[in-house]
Amino acid sequence: MAERLARGRRMAAGEDGFTMVEVVVAAALAAIALIAVFGSFDGSRRLIDKSERVETATHIGEQELERVITRTYATTATSSLPTHSTDVRNPRYYVNVAGTGYTWDQSGANPAATFVPVVAGSLAPCSNWNDDVSRLTGEVCRFVTWYDDPSIPGVTDAKRVTIAVSVNGGRDKPVTFTSIVRDTTA
């Protein structure tokens, strides 16, 4: 028993410490952990920014769609035809090159629908928007095309209103909303 106590005192009195290799390894592990933590913060910030852009574009688009579909059927048209854009992030990307139609089904499964003539239309095809709360800006485009309901004879049974909202500074495609508007006076 006395021998054990003596051995314990010798070990406690020793000047043993960390070697230089152990210190370097510990510092490297701490640095790797810090890089991982800061990386996750950066990734979280990017996801929050994207979420904010999509949420704001969604609110702008919903408000605009509600505003447009409450108009009279006769005036639900744009004041001029929108032009085509080659930028996939621009709402006008799905306007055909001739400027006569819009591919509302962005999967490409359906052909471009023909625009409603601008004779009585007063809607601007595209305009800029800004959100004072989030300080985001972008463009909202309105596309009004003819819609043919296959269950009703005829080719222009109603109008399809599509709203596409883009956010400046983002790399996302526009947020789109679509609704069918029928003439309830006929």
Backbone angles phi, psi at 80, to 5 degrees: -155, 165
Q: Who's near 138: CB < 8 A, 6+ residues apart? A: 57, 60, 128, 129, 130, 165, 166, 167, 168
* pLDDT at position 55: 92
Of 165, 146, 166, give the one whose Cα is nearest residue 156. 146
Of 173, 114, 105, 165, give the one whose Cα is nearest residue 144. 114
Q: Who's near 19: CB < 8 A, 6+ residues apart? A: none
The number of beta carbons lying within 10 Å of the beta carbon of residue 2 is 6
**Mean pLDDT, range 67-83, rounded to an integer:** 90
User: In this model, does residue 108 exceed pLDDT 80?
Assistant: no
Confidence of residue 6 (pLDDT cuts 50, 70, 90): low
Instruction: Tell me the pTM.
Output: 0.74
* pLDDT at position 13: 57
Q: Identify the three-state secondary structure at position 129.
A: strand
Quote the mean pLDDT of the chain. Answer: 84
